[in-house]
Structure 1
């Protein structure tokens, strides 16, 4: 699969034609691979939605918009702080001003910090929850009334398998667990308003942010080891895969699906670590 941000991705089928979507955190860290927010925005646009591309970094939001426009789609950038209620209100107002309404909200923003309950600082805990959970609450708080007035809408929250799998990222895991709880409760509270709320839980996907941490020079080696160890398919996933799943959940094809968490992780949640050991041993260790 071509993971370049200008690569082919999915073909246009019009699954969300005529819809208006907001994707938060839809810019991307520079580097190889496809980020989840950018992937969601591009796939939604490919499938016919007009997309408000929201990011705190204006240049990154505009880059995503340029990619979408280059593929024949419709996109408008929004720059703001969605960890604040006024920032989320302004974001929704911008979507309504640009496109007339809001049909789809993809809550994508998140940040991770390594550490357990002993060595994670209070500041890191608060930052991870402010960016990874509070932003989703505030964005939905601003968007749901617009959807309710229309009698329909779809919210897709981007979680993580970290919510149910340990990894020494206690703040991130707790925030993603909160995303799942938020998803279920919102689905109950707003279902009779015609609003469906679901979540996508990515596994160990390859993204530009990941390679900014492990180093671009280690990209090929890391992809190989990740494919061997992270899921039963033995292949790499990226933001394209998350974007396709989010678009399905946002589309009318999923009209009778709400309150679910869809793992997108090559079956990582279906297998024990012990069963993956032979696949990992088959990959040369670094430096071999």
Structure 2
């Protein structure tokens, strides 16, 4: 297999997370074609030597991810948790620490927009807004809270929050943009407060990524084929294509690894240059 093929498929030989324990929140994915960001990150971490707790609201989807990792010789456990319930978050973080004895990486891949009822502010309901807030911002905050208890005791750790380019660019729906902007602010605050504990906190801002959640949801919402949705999204990106789950996972791996040991409090775009168009 060529080097370029290895990179495209999420393979490297360096084992940058060898022996580390990673909790990936949102490690499953929605039904549909392609690979979700959370599943890609979980696989990428495991290929680099991490032991992975694959957490998802759907245990079946989490188990699919864990099984994919184990089929390649990696170490992974599936865990069912609803990010909107603090007790579930505590249980997930505790399970990783109980099973492997440490917690080195927390990857928060949680985000819901149209699938959670997002809309223009003049149209969104209280229930829809609260649902998106509880997943995107509150859920991320509380996973960080409980991971930090362990990481502070260890005096080490890396947290990678998945925000969105929508937080800093044009986006038509109110709750997703506001909550992802909140994730950016939270990331900066936690980075500053936890640097003295040798804990780094960064965020990834994906742009248009070809994932089942993004594309299939819009296909249903706007009654268009998957190919039509993809063509529209590709045309908006200066590189003339959407990103993939691997593009997000590759940055997540870097930020989780010791290669990024002097990087904290950063919110980094992975968007193919789309933010430059502001469209």
Kept in 2: contact 1:83–1:138 (CA 8 A): no
Q: 1:224 aligned to 208, 231, 242, which one?
A: 231
1:208 and 2:212 equivalent? Answer: yes
Kept in 2: contact 1:55–1:80 (CA 8 A): yes
1:95 and 2:96 equivalent? Answer: yes
Change (3 A) 1:219 1:10: farther
Kept in 1: contact 2:22–2:51 (CA 8 A): yes
1:238 and 2:239 equivalent? Answer: no
Residue 193 of structure 1: how far off its partner (Å): 0.4
Kept in 1: contact 2:168–2:181 (CA 8 A): yes
Distance 1:210 1:94 in 2: 30
Kept in 2: contact 1:84–1:138 (CA 8 A): no
SS in 2 for 1:31: coil
Residue 10 of structure 1: how far off its partner (Å): 2.5
1:33 and 2:34 equivalent? Answer: yes
Counting matched residue pairs gives: 266
- Give the TM-score taking structure 1 as reference length: 0.88
Distance 2:70 2:28 in 1: 15
SS in 1 for 2:225: helix
Kept in 1: contact 2:52–2:76 (CA 8 A): yes
SS in 2 for 1:117: coil
Residue 244 of structure 1: how far off its partner (Å): 0.8
Change (3 A) 1:146 1:35: same
Residue 272 of structure 1: how far off its partner (Å): 4.0
CA displacement 1:160-219 (0-9 Å, x = unmatched): 011112222100000000000000000011000010000000001110112322449823
Distance 1:81 1:236 in 2: 29
Map of 2:164 onto structure 1: 160
CA displacement 1:13-59 (0-9 Å, x = unmatched): 21111110001011011111111111111111111110000011110
SS in 2 for 1:92: helix
Map of 1:139 onto structure 2: 143
Q: 1:128 aligned to 128, 132, 135, which one?
A: 132
Distance 1:175 1:193 in 2: 27
Map of 1:268 onto structure 2: 274
Distance 2:165 2:191 in 1: 20
Give 5+ residue unaligned stretches, structure 2. Answer: 1-7
Q: Cα RMSD (Å) of the superposition?
A: 1.6
SS in 2 for 1:199: strand
CA displacement 1:104-126 (0-9 Å, x = unmatched): 00011111034222111111110
- Give the TM-score taking structure 2 as reference length: 0.91
SS in 2 for 1:172: helix
Kept in 1: contact 2:215–2:230 (CA 8 A): no
Give 5+ residue unaligned stretches, structure 1. Answer: 1-6, 274-288
1:196 and 2:192 equivalent? Answer: no
Residue 8 of structure 1: how far off its partner (Å): 3.4
Map of 2:17 onto structure 1: 16
Kept in 1: contact 2:238–2:274 (CA 8 A): yes
Kept in 2: contact 1:12–1:48 (CA 8 A): no
SS in 2 for 1:266: coil
Residue 80 of structure 1: how far off its partner (Å): 1.6
Distance 2:13 2:124 in 1: 44
Kept in 2: contact 1:148–1:193 (CA 8 A): yes
Map of 1:285 onto structure 2: none
